[in-house]
Amino acid sequence: MTKQTEFANRLVGSSAGIKVSRLCALTIAATLAVGAVNSFGQQPPATQSQKALPATEKKAPAPPAEKTVGNYTMHSNFEVGGVISNYDGSSAMWATMVNEGTGMRILNESLEMHTVNPSKTPFFDTLSTSSFGYGGEPNDVSYLKFSKGKLYDFSGGFRRDRNYYDYNLMPNSLLSTATPATPVLVPQPSSLHIFNTVRRNTDLLVTLFPVSRFSFRAGYNLNVHEGPTYSTVHYAGDVQVLEMFQNTGQTYIGGVDVKLAKRTTLSYDQFYGFYKGDSTFQLAPTPFTLSNGTPVSLGVDVLTGPTVTCGTGANKTQNVINGIANPYCSGTIVSSSISPIRTSFPTEQMRFSSHYWDKVSFNGRFLYSGGTYNVNNFNQTFNGLNTRTFIRQEIQTGGMANGRLATNKRANSVADFGMVADLNRHFSISDSFVFRDLRTSGFSIMNTEAWTGKATTSMLTPLSSITPTTTQATNGLFLDQKNIGNTVLGVVTINQAFKFSGGWRFNNRNIVDGNLDEGVADDLTWHQNGLLLGAVVQPSHVFRINVNYDTLNSKSANSQTPSNTYTREAPNVLYHIRARGLVTPAKWINFAVTVNDFQAKNTDPLVNHQEHNQDFSFAAQVIPTETLSFDFNFARDDIFSRTDICYAFIPNVNAPLPAGAVNAGACTATNSPDGDPSYYLGNGYYDAPVTYFAGAVSWAPSKYFNFNGGARFTDTSGAAELLNPLMVPGALQSKVVSPFSDLVIHIAPQWAWHGNWVHHGYDESGGPGPAAREFHGDVVTLGVRYAF
């Protein structure tokens, strides 16, 4: 059995079968009185395809009249059907990008209930619920809302998302068996970090007396993210591990609102967040064994063959012969980790807003959060052989009570205040002040028990023949960060056609970090300032344009802060221009144009960072008749960056030194770790121009038919600095094509047939072997809709 098959079996075996969401059960209970149908489903194969929905539906038949049942008027919609999918090409990429399989579906369900006599409906006056995706979709959702006059409001939601990922270029071991003249990438059938995870999110919120002087809120959120994944660990070779991924977050919410005066509200909120990280990993299945039959991994970046050897002296032989690994190689027999994480974040928040005076409004907030973070029962075990250090086995455990590895404390204070004053009909001024204070400290103790052998040690050497040594390492670090900022903005309204704004913003950022044990700290401070300009021009109802321009400059505050930014990639100079124009030459024609230009750089001579994000978008909607409309969208986006970087590279016959590589500038032997001359200067070049097009037509020739069809097209023609000659551009040079159509046939006042077709096509270019990741497929959805 291959590891991919086992991986799939782990998933399907644990999750296939009939599933009913908790909130869906709530929904069903609320809708049984009107004959709602229960929803059930089976496990999807693996990301939601985009269903093409009509952009507009002109001259659709009027919805059926609402029915009255008891003391409620009701309207309901229910659609059931199935999906037929078919594709050719890469199944891994189909599952990663589309993830749509064949099967029955509950496509949509909704219900609305409104009281006709509140005195005779004691439990709720209004109720609405909707759900979709059950029966096999990667994404299924349910919403439920109901309320009773001035007594309460309730809202709840449940969402389930399955995310499958298997893109074999990220990551990739980049192995080659070719000659220097013809470097060829060894095929990697699956990504080393393949995963198939599920996220379930539940939200509940109830508000008591929502329009009274005093109102109360209580809520709960549960977010569970789990599933099997593969990953890699760098020890005795980069070995692949199978991770049982499981993260759970819970948040409890309580609050009260007090209406102090006219248009003035004071609110108090209490949040309690709790996070559990229970992910563990173990060595993934490997095709190799030792001579005694013990499974062993030599790492994902190791080739096999008659010319590949390991060991020294008489023990230097081919690394693998007939599936049996040389025990004197670096190899891993056991790689496991258990590190449960527990984090709690109690948070208090006070808010106020007031528009008591007509020309002045205020709002503000103060928040304090004090959290703890603990890594409990920590244990990481390695068994095998690391030929660099001759370690035969190493076990690392937490050195605190009950095996705890680390404990952290975090305190976060936030204060915001905003004011807007309309001084007269031509001029207004606003001010926004922000304060952020983050303080965190952590302490860890790790015990390491190591069985260290010698040059003659192999993976078959009994551990009983080696005397282990135990060491303990302690570490204490702290980080304090403060941000104080203010933005002042004035707005001048000349008349209805012209409005201009201008302002200034500044932010002071201070970071103090260091070692608790040594009492040494870095005290770094930066000043950030920027200009804000804006204009709105609307000479007539036909034309309107908005323009915004802002800048930001960051500088070190003193000689103790040697650089103008905290990180190398962060820009110290930037400007941002945004413009949007709307043209409506006739009631049935609309045009919109947007331009976005973001430019930034870091002028540090050892960084030389540049980046930009430039976008031009155009949209048009033409509605010549009530039964016909056209939509057109075009966008051109270009994301670019470059930064001087140092990278390590040791040339060999299969991977010669990249063209233009030099040991100079920021990457001289003096600046490199340990004076290593094998570090070279790169530019980190990345440029990803993307062209997007979408067009659709909506046609309703009669009350019986609604048709919508069109296509979406995305073309990425990017490039990047590829430091390894075996790398290929992959998705940086790719095309996605997706034509679609949607048809609704009303066969009776309350019944309709619904058909939807989407074609998915993905192609790569610009490198060897892209066809292995290409696919083309069709998804057809057929349904029957009933509404009353």
CA distance between the termini of the chain:
52
The per-residue DSSP string of 522-568 comes to EEEEEEEEEEEEEEEEEEETTEEEEEEEEEEEEEESSTTS-SSSSST
- Comparing 445 with 169, the larger pLDDT belongs to 445
Q: Is the dihedral of CA 26, 32, 35, 41 positive or negative?
A: positive
Q: What is the pLDDT of residues 636-677, one digit of tens each?
A: 999 999 998 888 887 766 667 777 778 877 787 676 666 677
Residue with tokens 């947007």: 594
DSSP, collapsed to helix, strand or coil, labels residue 406 as: strand
Question: Whole-angstrom Cα distance, residue 224 to residue 201?
Answer: 7
Q: What is the pLDDT of residues 741-781, one digit of tens each?
A: 999 999 998 999 999 999 999 999 755 455 689 999 999 99
What is the pLDDT confidence band of residue 15, given thresholds at 50, 70 and 90? very low
Residues facing 447 on adjacent strands: 397, 472
The per-residue DSSP string of 463-480 comes to GGGS--EEEEEEEEEEEE
- CB of 237 closer than 8 Å to CB of 16: no
pLDDT given at position 180: 65
The pair phi, psi for residue 610, each rounded to 5°, is -140, 145
Query: What is the pLDDT averaged over residues 442-467?
Result: 95
Q: Show the tokens assigned to 506.
A: 């500044």
- CB of 602 closer than 8 Å to CB of 565: yes
656: DSSP letter: P
Other residues' Cβ atoms within 10 Å of the Cβ of residue 497: 13
The pair phi, psi for residue 475, each rounded to 5°, is -150, 130
The per-residue DSSP string of 352-402 comes to EEE--STTEEEEEEEEEEEEEEEE-S-EEEEEEEETTTTEEEEEEEE-SGG
What is the pLDDT confidence band of residue 69, given thresholds at 50, 70 and 90? confident
- CB of 245 closer than 8 Å to CB of 227: yes
Q: What is the pLDDT of residues 146-178, one digit of tens each?
A: 999 999 999 999 999 999 999 998 888 888 877
What is the pLDDT confidence band of residue 32, given thresholds at 50, 70 and 90? very low
- Comparing 505 with 675, the larger pLDDT belongs to 505
What is the pLDDT confidence band of residue 66, given thresholds at 50, 70 and 90? low
What is the pLDDT confidence band of residue 13, given thresholds at 50, 70 and 90? very low
- Comparing 518 with 436, the larger pLDDT belongs to 436
Q: What is the pLDDT of residues 596-636, one digit of tens each?
A: 999 999 999 888 999 999 999 999 999 999 999 999 999 99
Cα Rg of the chain, angstroms: 31
What is the pLDDT confidence band of residue 12, given thresholds at 50, 70 and 90? very low
Output the average pLDDT for the chain: 88
Q: What is the pLDDT of residues 516-574, one digit of tens each?
A: 766 678 899 999 999 999 999 999 989 999 999 999 999 999 888 889 998 878 999 99
Q: Is the dihedral of CA 317, 322, 326, 332 positive or negative?
A: positive
What is the pLDDT confidence band of residue 289, given thresholds at 50, 70 and 90? very high
Highest-confidence range of 8-22, 397-411, 665-679, by mean pLDDT?
A: 397-411
DSSP, collapsed to helix, strand or coil, labels residue 494 as: strand
